[in-house]
């Protein structure tokens, strides 16, 4: 009997000595603080280095496309465009959805966070939310065009204007006038003539549908892509500002932001907007270049109180990463791949060599970004 009592006493002692949830939290550093202060000067310099590389990636394709005198062959823009599609898709899976699953499954979180795959659910929610937003936007836009007696092209939408919107530059030149900057801009008077007097063969009608649908459709498409990219770019900056493994993460993020900027910039370069919207691609590129540096600056400012592994930070970053992944998944798979390859008559008639090159560029972009996920 005494041995049983001793055993029970020993058992209770061992249970009381076992780590409590509070001590686990303390060991995991689930509270505030904990940001690294090493390499402080280099962290400050990273604000400007990453801003320069991100803006270069996003703005170079836009500005180069507007300056034919640079002599950059059109195939280079096609390669960048397809490469960027792969980058965006890999970013959604490897750099957003996977971290979101890890963050929302953090040991610092308890209760319902551990009982349900919230990251996957939020990503799915974002996919359907963006679908409904885009559907509503196109219904409103279509109603507006119908009031003006114009029939929009149902497939001529997407980030770069797909299906009929994928006409070549030579096809465009018959219905557009050049802007002072060299950026092709639709002639509104020509559009009115075309919509009022369509040809029997429907050639002018298809051009009208393309040109008129393109500004609204492309702005919606690029806004969806930009929103998803900007959300996680701020979080990248916050993490870089306080992460102990700064050097490795810094190098990886330079490549990450440059490649992602190239993917975004290549899509922005293909926007064919009226003169009134000519600033949109440049503004989008500048905003992309600023978001990660802003995140770094904020992170440096709160480095003594901000802990990226805390419960609050895990929830905030996990939710935003999950939503961003859904946005980029929808954009990459629907707006880019489907509209670029499945709904694009130009691609249907393209040679096998061009098709292989395009798919190869997509896979290369996805592969490189997936590889970068090994370190960040």
The pLDDT of residue 279: 87
Residue pLDDT, tens place only, 83-141 = 999 999 999 999 999 999 999 999 989 889 999 999 999 999 999 999 998 888 888 87
The pLDDT of residue 282: 93
The pLDDT of residue 254: 94
Nearest CA to 172 among 83, 270, 84? 270
The pLDDT of residue 229: 87
Asked whether residue 342 is domain-assigned, the answer is yes
Residue pLDDT, tens place only, 311-321 = 888 999 999 99
Residue pLDDT, tens place only, 193-210 = 434 444 444 444 444 344
Count of domains for the chain: 1
Asked whether residue 280 is domain-assigned, the answer is yes
The pLDDT of residue 248: 87
Range of the domain at 121: 34-372
Ranges of residues in the chain whose predicted pLDDT is under 70: 1-29, 31-37, 149-216
Asked whether residue 182 is domain-assigned, the answer is yes
The pLDDT of residue 60: 93
The pLDDT of residue 83: 93
Asked whether residue 249 is domain-assigned, the answer is yes
Asked whether residue 4 is domain-assigned, the answer is no
The pLDDT of residue 304: 77
Asked whether residue 337 is domain-assigned, the answer is yes
> Has this prediction a pTM greater than 0.85?
no
Tell me the C-alpha distance between 324 and 294, whole Å.
Answer: 18
């Amino acid at each position: 009997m005494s041995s049983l009592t001793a055993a029970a006493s020993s058992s209770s002692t061992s249970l009381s000595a076992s780590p409590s949830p509070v001590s686990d939290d303390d060991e995991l550093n689930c509270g505030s603080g904990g940001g690294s202060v090493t390499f402080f000067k280099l962290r400050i310099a990273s604000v400007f280095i990453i801003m320069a590389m991100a803006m270069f990636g996003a703005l170079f394709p836009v500005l180069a496309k507007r300056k034919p005198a640079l002599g950059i062959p059109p195939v280079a823009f096609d390669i960048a465009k397809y490469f960027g599609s792969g980058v965006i898709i890999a970013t959604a899976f490897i750099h957003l959805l996977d971290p979101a699953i890890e963050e929302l499954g953090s040991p610092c979180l308890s209760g319902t966070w551990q009982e349900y795959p919230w990251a996957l659910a939020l990503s799915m929610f974002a996919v359907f939310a963006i679908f409904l937003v885009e559907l509503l936007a196109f219904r409103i836009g279509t109603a507006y065009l119908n009031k003006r007696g114009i029939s929009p092209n149902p497939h001529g939408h997407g980030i770069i204007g797909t299906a009929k919107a994928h006409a070549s530059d030579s096809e465009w030149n018959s219905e557009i006038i050049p802007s002072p900057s060299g950026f092709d801009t639709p002639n509104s008077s020509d559009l009115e003539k075309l919509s009022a007097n369509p040809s029997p063969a429907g050639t002018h009608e298809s051009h009208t549908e393309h040109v008129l649908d393109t500004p609204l459709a492309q702005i919606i498409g690029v806004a969806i892509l930009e929103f998803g990219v900007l959300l996680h770019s701020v979080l990248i900056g916050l993490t870089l500002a306080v992460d102990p493994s700064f050097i490795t993460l810094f190098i990886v993020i330079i490549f990450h932001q440059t490649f992602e900027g190239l993917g975004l910039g290549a899509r922005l370069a293909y926007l064919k907007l009226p003169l009134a919207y000519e600033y949109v691609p440049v503004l989008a590129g500048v905003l992309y270049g600023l978001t990660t540096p802003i995140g770094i600056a904020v992170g440096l400012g709160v480095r003594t109180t901000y802990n990226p592994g805390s419960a609050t930070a895990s929830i905030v970053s996990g939710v935003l990463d999950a939503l961003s992944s859904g946005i980029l998944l929808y954009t990459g798979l629907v707006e880019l791949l489907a509209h670029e390859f499945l709904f694009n008559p130009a691609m249907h008639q393209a040679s096998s060599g061009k098709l292989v090159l395009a798919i190869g560029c997509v896979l290369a972009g996805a592969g490189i970004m997936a590889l970068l996920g090994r370190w960040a």
